[in-house]
Structure 1
Amino acid sequence: MAERIFGHIPGYPEGSLFESRAELRESGVHRPIQAGISGSQTEGAESIVLSGGYEDDADDGDLIIYTGYGGRNQSTGRQDHDQPFSHGNRALALSKQNGLPVRVIRGSKHDSRYSPPFGYSYDGLYAVEGFWHEPGRSGFEIWRFRLVKIPQKVTAGQGVREDPAEYSVARRQEMRVSRIVRDSAKARKIKALYKHRCQICGTRLSCPAGPYSEAAHIRPLGAPHDGPDTEDNILCLCPNHHVLFDNGAISVAKDLSLIGADKDDLTVHRHHHISLRHLAYHRKHLAVVPDFEREASV
């Protein structure tokens, strides 16, 4: 199997045009002949094609809300069942988690002013900045991915390969950190309330400059979630549990018991009111837990 490359393919700069999926495959820009997502559940997704096959796609150029894989009837092309969190969907989620760039290709049948008049165009690298699930236009559960264009000057190709056995000087490589750090007065107040102890595990990190913790927004800020930067939408978490919470591995039930964590209940200070509405949003759209757990906690 050819090496999986995350980043630009040498010889095919942004703006390259292709007549067919066969040409895309031959170039290595997008290898599958039919699938819209190229990747694996263990390495991540390196490329996607916007071909007009999914009715819920939204394309604003530098911002794309991409509909995941599956749920379509092979005969009619219509969405007639829920999409699974597996295959390409899980690969894209892994790219978000590990900060891997995704090549975006648009096809002429994709209904967007950014699509080429014929064939396919390679339109550069995007970062997967979030993923969630919700009912689509046809009423079935779909996975959605927020992809944001990465400026060309800070992009660098990456290859997934085993490190060489011999000792060598580490290569310098530009990396893009897509995580936005927000530390408003409200966030600082919540962290001080818990004395920087994680509400999930109780860990307090002591650094030379002082204690460290992170403010996790239950309902994410900004479009498409539009969560508020308010105290009832903030948790004080350690970095590990912040990552797990943001990526749907842990959620909180309406009785404040923890879903997907070893500990039974979330620690809540008597002066910290947490919105049950925001917790319900996280469970419904962001948590990746077995269906019976999700249904039991709604």
Structure 2
Amino acid sequence: MAKLPFVFGPLAGVAPGHEFRNRLELYGAGVHTQTQAGISARQGEGAASIVLSGGYEDDEDFGDVIIYTGRGGRSAESRQQVADQTLTGSNLELARNYTTGLPLRVTRKVEARNGSFYRYDGLYRVAGYWAEPGKSGLRVWRFRLELLPNDGAPSPDAAAAVSAVAEEMAAYGSAPRRASTVLRIVRDTAISRAVKALHDYHCQVCGVQLRGGLPYAEAAHIRPLGAPHHGPDALANVLCLCANHHVLFDLGAFGIAPDFQLLGLPGQLIIKKKHLIGAEFLAYHRAHFYEPQANAGQK
């Protein structure tokens, strides 16, 4: 059996509702590159897809929301949970999707009168994960999956976002305004993953790398997306921040001077040579967020 490329996100020519007769057809189309396992993941990168086939008693499927049970601890003979699950292997990679924002392809096994088949049901995001006792009383890892709107467009290559940091800064237009679709979500998470990778999930203000088993940071747009600001979704307009400093920055509690000195906080923004930050975006944030707050505080 030929080895297929490992792809995250939507696949060209495969739209939600596409049906496959068996796992081999699913494999051949590249939708799920495992012929038996329910999770298809790559170590250190995340999970690309899952198949819901009714194998775990703790799974809960509400359609747009799935409470998915991780892998492990189940007897091959009885198919019952006989041991605690651990946050390792493909379970860890599913958790990684939560911190990176990578979308997850979901396929369901459908039982019909004349047999069963598999139906690809689109992209979901991992909205959270936790451990708790399952119906067996043993610990299982559970993942909340939420359906993403799907326009069927192929995913942009995240590597293109990383390579963009080496390009000269040009005039940026407004970020495209469109309904929430897979194309927009995957594009945004590519930028998010790029800035987090460049800073190894360390906050550019305090230098802290938050960890909860996996590193966590947030991508903060300097000039916000959407009306009325219309900032671009580009690395030059994004900072890697911890959750606290992301909120404070969005609220205008602090700003950043042209020389990267922090305004309203002690210290200087931590910068990387490969992450070119647009001076015009910092100026926009100072004018529209920081300075109004600072002036209000003086009254």
CA offset digits 1:70-125 (Å, max 9, x no partner): 11011111100011111111111111110011000000259xxxxx9721000000
Once residues 4 and 168 of structure 1 are traced to their aligned partners in structure 2, the CA distance between those partners, rounded to angstroms, is: 27
Residue aligned with 1:119, SS: strand
Once residues 92 and 10 of structure 1 are traced to their aligned partners in structure 2, the CA distance between those partners, rounded to angstroms, is: 23
Q: Are the aligned partners of 1:154 and 1:174 in contact in 2 as well (CA < 8 Å)? A: no
Q: Which residue of 1 is the match for residue 146 of structure 2?
A: 148
Q: Are the aligned partners of 2:107 and 2:119 in contact in 1 as well (CA < 8 Å)? A: yes
Q: Which runs of 5+ in 1 are unaligned?
A: 111-115, 179-196, 202-208, 210-237, 244-298
Give the TM-score of the pair, scaled to structure 1.
0.53
Matching residue's letter, 2:185: M
CA offset digits 1:55-80 (Å, max 9, x no partner): 00001110000000111011111100
Once residues 14 and 159 of structure 1 are traced to their aligned partners in structure 2, the CA distance between those partners, rounded to angstroms, is: 21
Q: Which runs of 5+ in 2 are unaligned?
A: 170-174, 176-182, 190-205, 211-221, 223-239, 246-299
Matching residue's letter, 1:25: Y
2:185 pairs with 1:175: yes
Once residues 94 and 164 of structure 1 are traced to their aligned partners in structure 2, the CA distance between those partners, rounded to angstroms, is: 22
- Per the alignment, do residues 62 and 142 of structure 1 end up closer, same or farther by CA in structure 2, a change over 3 Å counting? same
Q: Are the aligned partners of 1:3 and 1:160 in contact in 2 as well (CA < 8 Å)? A: no
Match among 113, 122, 127 for residue 129 of structure 1 = 127
Once residues 109 and 68 of structure 1 are traced to their aligned partners in structure 2, the CA distance between those partners, rounded to angstroms, is: 22
Q: Are the aligned partners of 2:15 and 2:152 in contact in 1 as well (CA < 8 Å)? A: no
Q: Which residue of 2 is the match for residue 71 of structure 1?
A: 73
Q: Which residue of 2 is the match for residue 37 of structure 1?
A: 39
Q: Are the aligned partners of 1:19 and 1:118 in contact in 2 as well (CA < 8 Å)? A: yes
Pairing 1:179-190 to 2, within 5 Å after superposition: none
Once residues 74 and 139 of structure 1 are traced to their aligned partners in structure 2, the CA distance between those partners, rounded to angstroms, is: 18
Q: Which residue of 2 is the match for residue 234 of structure 1?
A: none
Match among 98, 103, 106 for residue 104 of structure 1 = 106
After TM superposition, what 4+ stretches of structure 1 lie above 6 angstroms from structure 2? 162-165, 167-170
Larger Rg: 2
More helix by share: 2
Pairing 1:85-104 to 2, within 5 Å after superposition: 85-104=87-106
